[in-house]
Chains A and B, each alone.
Chain A
Amino acid sequence: MAATRSANPVAKAWRRIPGAWRQPLTIVGFVLVATWLLVALLAPWIAPYDPLAQSAALFQPPSAAHLLGTDELGRDVFTRLLWGARISIPLAMMLVVLAFTIGGTLGGLAGYLGGWIDELVMRGADFVFAVPTILLAMAVVAALGPGLFHAVLAVVLVSWPGHARVVRGLVRSTMQSEYVAVGRLLGSPAYRALAVDVLPNVAGPVIVLAALEMGNAILLLSALSFLGLGARPPAAEWGSMVSTGAEHFEAWWIGVFPGFAIVSIVLAFNFLGDSLRDAFDPKAIIKARGA
């Protein structure tokens, strides 16, 4: 019993997307992330006001003039929300790239060379894991002095071990696999095995981890700013906006909307990361290629 396929062009385009990517959560993740990326890009043009412009209209609740109200200095919350994306997202990206470059390299060396390098890297990672993340990050910022740049450094410091451990595990298990042994017997030096066999195995999980870590990074950065250790005023950063909101509970719109923004973007990256994980399964690669 054949169902009649609709000739609707949207439906047709939809069906051409490979099965692995057509899951509801994947779509939600993609759409949300894309939206926020666009917002970050276009904020200067779509924001109604200047994020730093103070006015006399303090603590105004959401209205037609100010969609999400105004804060304690009369600045438009909606504008600052949009501009906040321009801080959080690029910083988080830079942060994640740094973390997986440093962590991935260290972990890869540890897995490939073994011996004392392995010991050193893993004990370093263990040390970082042993201390509660937020405390360690706070300690680093306290030592270096407050500021967004130092906050980024702190988060990189607490994030690299996660990447290192994943990469080390993958490198080790791949190098010990039978197919690498086959390659070695065919005459390949060990470093070729790295490029040909290890990298494809490592690439997928690392990308998934990076996507998930974006969410984590934004959360940590916001947390540090919330504690006053990250962004300095008057920067329109979500974490510090939430902090201000906590001081002025009656003007709930000051803290709640930035809070929602943080939640939505972290969720978006988590959905994206989960769907990437499913999509990187070799079986799904076949569906994606339509072979």
Chain B
Amino acid sequence: MSLLELRDVEVIYQRRDGAPVPAVAGASLDVEAGEIVGLVGETGCGKTSLARAAVGLVPIASGTVAFEGRPVHVLSRRARPARERRLQLVFQNPYESINPRRTVGAQVADAFAIGRTVPRSKWRQGVDDLLQRVGLPASISRRFPHQLSGGQRQRIAIARALAADPSMIVLDEPLSALDASVQAQVANLLVELARDLQVGMLLISHDLAIVRHVAHRTAVMYLGLVVETAPTAELWKAPKHPYTKALIASIPHADGAGHLPAALSGEIPDPARPPAGCRFHPRCSRVMDKCRTEAPQLVAKEAGRAVACWLYEELMVHDQVGGREARS
């Protein structure tokens, strides 16, 4: 049983003109304690919707979201169940996810005030400890958000989540709003926290390079589905899914050598009208007849790798590989 288990999750939004948009069309994912799983994908892949569904911010149309073995409730006007407070979310924009009119120290202490697990006399110390853990000086707790830089604010957001003593944190593009030289600092912090506190992390990002460096395992999403998952190093060394390959090939290398990255033909289709069969088939360089009509499932391969592509299904049928039939 994984710490966080997403199975065939569907998230549907109502567009203003009435047409329902399936932002997530049946995605499956697992995260274990102490593990950082990177979730990458481009616009329209549904990774942000999946992140929000994972913590209960948005309802799911079908599928299951299980945290520590029990289903996750959708947020209503009532307070969240106490055990679900160990599942937290850090938002992308540190300029919007912190109340500009309250001191940052008060906001970090919110989890103490709400959870009532820590006596009031210990709050000050608790906040100072958390600030230290995220690499900020204790004196910062009296400041207001606009006095802090983006990197500092994001650390405050992380400290705020840590105050709830989480076992799992979902981070939605936590580094995108930060300067390049600051991203590395916060990325290192995340790695440290996962290791020291044995917190599981689901890191959503469009920046494959950072995910590569920080995540133990990586999942790739395309148009509402998870198309491949693998240990990060292997994903980069030997990507299986054609989209993963194209994604990796399109990243420019910062070596100064002047090589243009390979371009992927076509455009991302409208999520409301996805292609029939395999969603990637119109842009795939290895497309077969089967791909146009039947959608491949995410199937486990060797050691922790799974891919949703007919290229590998054919092989599997022939090779009769044992291994888990269960999706992962």
A residues contacting B by CB (< 8 A) are: 177-179, 181-190, 192, 196-197, 200-201, 204, 282-283, 285-286, 291
What is the CA–CA distance of A188 and B100 in the complex, to the nearest angstrom?
A: 19
Residues on B with beta carbons closer than 8 Å to the beta carbon of A188: 79, 110, 114
**Which of A185, A189, A201, A204 contacts B88 (CB under 8 A)?**
A185
Residues 99-116 of B, flagged 1 when their CB comes within 8 A of A and 0 if not, give 111100001001100110
Known: A188-B110, A282-B144, A291-B143. A182 touches B97 (CB 8 A): yes
- For A184, the closest partner residue in chain B by CB is B75
Residues on B with beta carbons closer than 8 Å to the beta carbon of A182: 89, 91, 97, 110, 157, 160-161
Complex interface residues of chain B between 51 and 95 (CB less than 8 A to chain A): 55-57, 75, 77-80, 82, 84-85, 88-89, 91, 93
- For A182, the closest partner residue in chain B by CB is B97
Q: How many A-B residue pairs have CB under 8 A?
A: 83
Residues on A with beta carbons closer than 8 Å to the beta carbon of B89: 181-182, 185
Given contacts A185-B75, A186-B160, A187-B80, 10 further A-B contacts (CB under 8 A): A185-B89, A186-B110, A187-B164, A189-B78, A197-B99, A200-B99, A200-B101, A283-B146, A285-B101, A286-B144
The 9 listed contacts between A and B (C-beta, < 8 Å) are A179-B107, A181-B89, A184-B75, A186-B88, A188-B79, A189-B78, A190-B78, A196-B102, A201-B99
What is the CA–CA distance of A200 and B56 in the complex, to the nearest angstrom?
A: 27
**Which of A184, A186, A285 contacts B144 (CB under 8 A)?**
A285
Return B253 CB to nearest CB of chain A, in Å.
35
* Of listed B77, B99, B114, B143, residue having the most chain A CB within 10 A: B99
What is the CA–CA distance of A291 and B148 in the complex, to the nearest angstrom?
A: 13
Per DSSP, chain B at the interface is loop
- For B90, the closest partner residue in chain A by CB is A182
Residues on A with beta carbons closer than 8 Å to the beta carbon of B160: 182, 186
Tell me if B121 is interfacial: C-beta within 8 Å of chain A. Answer: no
Tell me if B142 is interfacial: C-beta within 8 Å of chain A. Answer: yes
Tell me if B179 is interfacial: C-beta within 8 Å of chain A. Answer: no
**Which of B102, B146, B164 contacts A200 (CB under 8 A)?**
B102
Residues on B with beta carbons closer than 8 Å to the beta carbon of A200: 99, 101-102
Q: Is the CB of B110 within 8 A of A181?
A: no
Q: Is the CB of B96 within 8 A of A177?
A: yes
Known: A282-B144, A286-B147. A184 touches B97 (CB 8 A): no
